[in-house]
Chains A and B, each alone.
Chain A
Amino acid sequence: MLKLIFKMAFRDFIMRKARTILTILGVAIGIATVVSLVSISTGTKAQMEKSLAGLADFMVSPSSNAFGTGSKMDYTYYLYIRGFPEVEAAAPYLEGILAVNNKLSLIIGLDPSIDAIHSSPIKEGRSINWSAKEAVAGYAAAQSLNLKVNMILHISKGPGYKGEDFKLVSILERTGGFIDGEIYIPLQYMQRIMKAEGKINGVIIKLKSPNLANSFKQRIKKNLPDLEVFSPGTIMENIGEVLSLLDSVLLAISGVSLLVGVTSVLSTMITNVIEKTREIGVMKAIGASRRQILTIFLFQSVIVCLIGGILGVFFSIGVSPFLEQQISLASGISFQAVYSPELVLGAIALSCLLGVASGFIPSWKAANIQPVEALKYE
């Protein structure tokens, strides 16, 4: 019986090739969309976690300025905060999107105090001399701008502006974090280029102990109410919010594309059942039970969806290098989509489920066809 069901279902494929192929494509596109979206979302999360792993520090900057480039504060705040009893080390920074050899890139001005907080592994070159006009490039920044050690970087406020020349002394190892996409120069020159002498965006802080976080926050709140403390936790929360928003958008898109898949299977199955009304009537007349008819049709729709699903997974994996490239270009972070075995198996399970869901009503209709009516049906 099982084999017969297989054969009947397959025979129908061949007979209705074109329609079946279109349906399979419909399902494949739906599943591919879902798989791609999930792989991107997983990739983004993995990326964020990796980035934040290296960011075990607190940041203090003017309120409403979580990630930098906005409002500035006086350098003297840094000197003040550095003296707080909870603080082990502090480093001022000023960042901006500037032109590097006429291409826009994220530049951060730092000073030697950063060495007490972060040590970035050098891939090539030597460490920066903070008093010279030297620069360090993150892995991805070096790649996208095609930078080589010892190159001279002309950094200016924008293409066309008069800027200053820096010697690239090192390229950093790939970390997977934000620093990959950045170029560092000494803070004093950064301030000069940005025309922000005596200004910084914020201070990176290393506390003596993570337990002091609350007392540090209280102290900032009391003494410097204009400033806000961003802990890795709050950053995580912010990102979490963004990601959950992203997830609900992805969910909506997935829902729509799956709906398209379901609709195409549903309409194909309904057409199939209508076309076969007479045949179904004959089969029932010669002894097929309702369950057997139901199984034949359900099996057919599950097979169509399963093939579509497998194809969809391959589609998605096939286009992922392109998507990764586009996202990397757009975000400036070297992005990688994540295809976990769970995702692949889940997609295949989902496509089976899709087959059952969209095939059930037509199959149920088929199973309940009245033989007498069907035999009169032309």
Chain B
Amino acid sequence: MENSNDNICLPLPVTISNWFTTYKQREDYLVNFLKNILPSSDVKDIDEELRKLFPLTKRKGKVTNKPEKSSLMAMRKCIRLYLNQTKTYIQYKQMVPLNSLWLGYMHHMLGIKNFTSLPMNFTHSHWESINHRLIKADFHGAIITIVKSKCPSTIGIEGIIIQDTKNTFKVLGKDNVIRVIPKASCIFRIHLEHNVYFDVFGKELCIRPTERSVKKFKNFQIPDL
């Protein structure tokens, strides 16, 4: 047993180690071989040709450190993430003025002095143009309730829209809790005045808020819910 243990620590006999080749040896062998075979005019180019890299070679070229992505974006992301953490710091009472600001904006947007003069039926002459304007409007600060939904637990939630993403609304309820509601499976009722409201299929709002102001909408869409 002792003998075998000693054998492990000993260097390998020369006869065996000759069998092994290292990377450098193989490279030298290749260069020598090429120098012998190629005509004398091409010998100069051997070094250059070997240095070239091919798409599937195992050896990689020098990895240059890419400059880090602009710190501006990282900064913005940090602040955006902050929004999810500070849930309890927004209070419903403080956000009520935002809704009155939004109502003033909607007056300008629709070009109407009173919301009661909005068209009620599709037979009205302004029906289409007002629909077009409504869907391009901004919904931050609107008071909404959910009328119908595929998910029964979300029905009846009421609150002010705080954030508007592609597939969700973030709604601040009267109990100062922010809820995330998926748009696609809901019908929203957006309140304008005391008794004036309009119902919207959530599926038609599934656009990023910045893209909404530019996108062109089809006149007729078949709602599926």
| A joins B in a complex | no
* B residues adjacent to A (C-beta < 8 A): none
